[in-house]
Chain A
Amino acid sequence: GAVVSQHPSWVICKSGTSVKIECRSLDFQATTMFWYRQFPKQSLMLMATSNEGSKATYEQGVEKDKFLINHASLTLSTLTVTSAHPEDSSFYICSARGTGGDGYTFGSGTRLTVV
């Protein structure tokens, strides 16, 4: 079946630095990528939607200059958390949709801790 590889699975970074999270679709072309944030024991909150080759569409309240999304190819999307602060610590999950089916394939998530 369709697989999305998300890396890193966990990362610790210092406050003020930037962190990049990658999601790669391994056996299909991801035309649309969704990026979610999940706080402990809470639901997934959509941050942004990106279509290959286009600028991402951010949800209300999400700072696009802080959470940079790049979807330059049909197999790779990245989320960069710039100038990270402790309040950015969270679990980030990507989800991809391809041209062929109607389903969503989720990455395994990235736990970000900012110290």
Chain B
Amino acid sequence: AQTVTQSQPEMSVQEAETVTLSCTYDTSESDYYLFWYKQPPSRQMILVIRQEAYKQQNATENRFSVNFQKAAKSFSLKISDSQLGDAAMYFCAYRRGNTGTASKLTFGTGTRLQVTL
């Protein structure tokens, strides 16, 4: 079974600084997708960024970027120029390739990010 590990229960960053959240995963599949989701206090899940395993180029979305190391099964999220609104729980998630019901997401345990002034 696939597992997703987030080893940092909590992280803190000062406003305007950069922070990196770690995620590792275990899979024997070659075709899969990785995601970072944000869950603010409202508890609405928000997609931050996604990465297809077959793509070597790291995904970026404005201030958010990933460092995808396929051989190491590592998928870290870098948040640049941190803002107060970035404070939330961040979940790393894994999904096998597009194969029907196998398309379910497996979530990591989450990292709570605090942003300080």
**Chains A and B bind each other:** yes
Q: Among the listed B47, B98, B104, B108, which residue makes an inter-chain contact with A34, where contact means beta carbons less than 8 Å apart?
A: B104
Q: For B101, list chain A residues within 8 Å (CB).
A: 32, 49, 51, 57
Interface size class of B (residues with CB under 8 A): 10 to 19
Contact indicator B47/A44 (Cβ below 8 Å):
no
Q: For A57, list chain B residues within 8 Å (CB).
A: 101
Contact indicator B47/A103 (Cβ below 8 Å):
yes
A39 to B106, CA, bound (A): 16
Contact indicator A44/B104 (Cβ below 8 Å):
no
B37 to chain A, nearest CB (A): 8
Q: For B109, list chain A residues within 8 Å (CB).
A: 42-43
Q: For A91, list chain B residues within 8 Å (CB).
A: 43
A-contact 0/1 string along B99-117, CB 8 Å cutoff: 0010111111110100000
B-contact 0/1 string along A40-58, CB 8 Å cutoff: 0111111001010000010
A95 at the interface (CB under 8 A from B): yes
Interface size class of A (residues with CB under 8 A): 20 to 34
B84 at the interface (CB under 8 A from A): no
A51 to B107, CA, bound (A): 21
A42 to B39, CA, bound (A): 11
Given contacts A51-B101, A57-B101, contact A44 B44 (CB under 8 A): no
A38 to chain B, nearest CB (A): 8
B56 at the interface (CB under 8 A from A): no
Given contacts A57-B101, A102-B98, contact A43 B43 (CB under 8 A): no
Q: Which residues of A come within 8 Å of B, CB atoms?
A: 32, 34, 38, 41-46, 49, 51, 57, 91, 93, 95, 97, 102-104, 106, 108-109
13 more A-B residue pairs beyond the given contacts A44-B45, A51-B101, A102-B98, with a C-beta to C-beta distance below 8 A: A42-B110, A43-B91, A43-B107, A44-B91, A44-B105, A46-B104, A49-B101, A93-B43, A103-B47, A104-B47, A106-B44, A108-B42, A108-B44
